[in-house]
A and B are shown apart, each in its own frame.
Chain A
Amino acid sequence: MSRISKDQVKHVAHLARLAVTEEEAELLTEQLDKIIGFAEELNELDTDNVEPTTHVLELKNILRKDEVRNSVSVDEAMKNAPSERDGQFKVPNILE
């Protein structure tokens, strides 16, 4: 039984904001199935009483003072913009 279907792959691609062709979806289904199959070896381990590690160092909330500091200028922020107008990022239609 395959672990991931082509429809699922298309759904995940949508979530990841990637456009995939039919051929790409097919190849990805095959490859992801293999990788996920490999990852399922983790199920051999009993981890019921194991705490998950999100971070290797013991960090508590890192806070800083809420002070006004220099930040980038509009010109700098716009330097790499693919499209801009009046100091703002320009994008295609959001609403139809």
Chain B
Amino acid sequence: MSILDKKISELHQLLHTKDLSVTDIVDATFDRIHQVDGKVKAFLTLNEEYSRIKAKQLDEKLVSGADRGLLFGMPIGIKDNIVTKGIRTTCASRILENFEPIYDATVVERLNQADTITIGKLNMDEFAMGSSNENSGFHPTHNPWDLSCVPGGSSGASAASVSAGEVLFSLGSDTGGSIRQPAAFCGVVGLKPTYGLVSRYGLVAFASSLDQIGPVTRNVEDNAYLLQAIAGNDPMDSTSAKVDIPDYLASFTGDVKGLKIAVPKEYLGEGVEPGVKERVMEALKVLEGLGATWEEVSLPHSRYALATYYLLSSSEASANLSRFDGVRYGLRSDNSENLIEMYKQSRSEGFGEEVKRRIMLGTFALSSGYYDAYYKKAQKVRTLIKEDFTNIFEKYDVIIGPTTPSASFKCGSMTKDPLTMYMNDILTIPVNLAGVPAISVPCGFSDGLPIGLQIIGKHFDESTIYRVAHAFEQATDHHKEKPKL
């Protein structure tokens, strides 16, 4: 067993007894990356020299007995839409190919305080728009379980790098499923926290009312460690909530007796593959065996979530991405005579197809004469979708269903038609619209590819999600399976 297969708590024990050094962990991490990343292609930038220096510094801290952070000595990969001071941050877009941020995102600052080591920056769909990583402006990332399949998206490389054992854990971002869908496809644990729990300061904005940063890990316990380090109010993000942060590690009681689970019939209906349904039903049996009860419920407005999401997220994106104009940073086209032409040429040369399509859709939905019919209508339907969740949570503790309608798919098989690709997110999108938290945990396989179980909780009730996810994980062996690379 490689040291990289261990949990944070186990590694901390080994560091404590001096059976392991931080340098050992960092060396093993880069050995693994150099061994498999040529196949997986998860990293856009490696931070090797700095990581080795930081490892030495932390080892000195270990010897001196100085205070250690919560994630002391743990290597981490960071999605490339989270800014890192002095480390290139591209959003996997040509328009930011050479962009070097002058500040750290709040989450990065908090990770530094927790003594993590930023190993490198992870590939994604350009500006987080996509469900397969095929929209990266540089190269696609591959699924470690089957290299001819996609890792999901947009945080595809955040999930693939953890699944492939390249890093212990990573940060992703989730606007419509971008942490949970790739976590499901790659057989790892991914949490989208409650909107407002984790600061978005330094997350390059896609859709500001939906975006959340969250942890991707190999097990539920590590996930809670990572969330503990990054959660909490930040004055630099005015949408960050002022709530008390509980001790997430205290939620692992293993006790789900009397837990009331709601299972929306819309999440197991048409379009959900039999292999996925079977795994979810098996998972419900496991939880029943542990003393939980479940009932079928309805989230009647689920079917409208996809259209609502694409109108709102694209509208917000069209405004957010107007900052990329070739003036202060990013690519500037040489092929223009005046300012307006410079804007147009720079943006057209720098953005990829999907990004342009969504900017167009959003600009249209916000344009004079269409605003009420599309944008405002979608905001109203968002209210109905949110109320669906409020109603269910009056009677139930969690909502459970699959994370995705199918397992991963072959690279290139869905790139022709944007709408088909969008369908991947039908079970994750309603969660972002309602702002509630949800996790995807491995619940088995279908034809050799991992399937994810989605556990949705009440606003700011990540503790219950963790309790259920952990109880399920401990009762099953799915999380112990590893891809052969």
Contact call A39/B311, Cβ cutoff below 8 A: yes
- Would you call A51 an interface residue if the criterion is a C-beta within 8 Å of the partner chain's C-beta atoms? yes
Contact call A19/B332, Cβ cutoff below 8 A: no
Write the B337-352 contact mask toward A (1 if CB under 8 angstroms, else 0).
1111111110110010
Q: Which residues of B lie under 8 Å from residue A64 when comparing CB positions?
A: 235
Tell whether A80 pairs with B328 under 8 Å between CB atoms, given A42-B378, A53-B386, A93-B338.
yes
Q: Which residues of B lie under 8 Å from residue A53 when comparing CB positions?
A: 379-380, 382-383, 386
Contact call B328/A89, Cβ cutoff below 8 A: yes
Q: In the complex, A82→B332 CA distance in Å? A: 6
Q: In the complex, A20→B360 CA distance in Å? A: 11
Q: Which residues of A lie under 8 Å from residue B238 when comparing CB positions?
A: 59, 62
Q: In the complex, A94→B238 CA distance in Å? A: 35
- Would you call B47 an interface residue if the criterion is a C-beta within 8 Å of the partner chain's C-beta atoms? no
Interface residues on A, range: 35 or more
- Would you call A35 an interface residue if the criterion is a C-beta within 8 Å of the partner chain's C-beta atoms? yes
* Cβ distance B432 to chain A, nearest Cβ, rounded Å: 9
Within the complex, which residue of B342, B364, B381, B418 is in contact with A45, where a contact is CB–CB below 8 Å? B381
Contact call B307/A38, Cβ cutoff below 8 A: yes
Q: In the complex, A11→B327 CA distance in Å? A: 23
Contact call A17/B339, Cβ cutoff below 8 A: no
B interface, over-half SS: helix
Contact call B344/A18, Cβ cutoff below 8 A: yes
Write the A67-84 contact mask toward B (1 if CB under 8 angstroms, else 0).
000001000110111110
Q: In the complex, A28→B384 CA distance in Å? A: 31
Nearest CB to that of A84 among chain B residues?
B328
Within the complex, which residue of B327, B376, B384 is in contact with A89, where a contact is CB–CB below 8 Å? B327
Q: In the complex, A11→B177 CA distance in Å? A: 32
Contact call A28/B360, Cβ cutoff below 8 A: yes
- Would you call B17 an interface residue if the criterion is a C-beta within 8 Å of the partner chain's C-beta atoms? no
* Cβ distance A43 to chain B, nearest Cβ, rounded Å: 7
Chain A 23-76 interface residues, beta-carbon cutoff 8 Å to B: 28, 31-32, 34-36, 38-39, 41-45, 47, 50-57, 59, 62, 64, 72, 76
- Would you call B304 an interface residue if the criterion is a C-beta within 8 Å of the partner chain's C-beta atoms? yes
Tell whether A51 pairs with B337 under 8 Å between CB atoms, given A32-B360, A56-B435.
no
- Would you call A96 an interface residue if the criterion is a C-beta within 8 Å of the partner chain's C-beta atoms? yes
Tell whether A39 pairs with B195 under 8 Å between CB atoms, given A19-B348, A52-B376.
no
Contact call B329/A80, Cβ cutoff below 8 A: yes
Q: Which residues of A lie under 8 Å from residue B386 when comparing CB positions?
A: 53, 56
Interface residues on B, range: 35 or more
Contact call A31/B357, Cβ cutoff below 8 A: yes
Chain B 289-306 interface residues, beta-carbon cutoff 8 Å to A: 301, 303-304, 306
Nearest CB to that of B102 among chain A residues?
A76
Tell whether A39 pairs with B310 under 8 Å between CB atoms, given A12-B364, A15-B367, A56-B195.
yes
- Would you call B56 an interface residue if the criterion is a C-beta within 8 Å of the partner chain's C-beta atoms? no
Nearest CB to that of B368 among chain A residues?
A15
Contact call B342/A91, Cβ cutoff below 8 A: yes
Tell whether A83 pairs with B332 under 8 Å between CB atoms, given A12-B363, A16-B360.
yes
Nearest CB to that of A44 among chain B residues?
B304
Q: In the complex, A65→B381 CA distance in Å? A: 37
- Would you call B377 an interface residue if the criterion is a C-beta within 8 Å of the partner chain's C-beta atoms? yes
Tell whether A35 pairs with B379 under 8 Å between CB atoms, given A18-B356, A57-B435, A83-B332.
no
Q: Which residues of A lie under 8 Å from residue B378 when comparing CB positions?
A: 39, 42
Binds A, one of B5-13, B66-74, B156-164, B318-326: B318-326
Within the complex, which residue of A13, A51, A80 is in contact with B330, where a contact is CB–CB below 8 Å? A80
Contact call B209/A55, Cβ cutoff below 8 A: yes
Contact call B332/A54, Cβ cutoff below 8 A: no
Tell whether A17 pairs with B325 under 8 Å between CB atoms, given A4-B364, A64-B235, A80-B99.
yes
Q: In the complex, A41→B310 CA distance in Å? A: 13
Interchain residue pairs with CB less than 8 A apart (19): A15-B363, A16-B322, A16-B359, A16-B360, A31-B357, A32-B360, A35-B361, A38-B307, A45-B304, A52-B376, A53-B386, A56-B459, A57-B241, A77-B102, A79-B102, A81-B328, A82-B329, A93-B337, A93-B339
Interface residues of A (CB under 8 A from B): 4, 8-9, 12-13, 15-20, 28, 31-32, 34-36, 38-39, 41-45, 47, 50-57, 59, 62, 64, 72, 76-77, 79-83, 89, 91-94, 96
Interface residues of B (CB under 8 A from A): 98-100, 102-103, 195-196, 209, 235, 238-239, 241, 301, 303-304, 306-308, 310-311, 318, 322, 325-332, 336-345, 347-348, 351, 356-357, 359-361, 363-364, 367, 374, 376-384, 386, 418-419, 433-435, 459
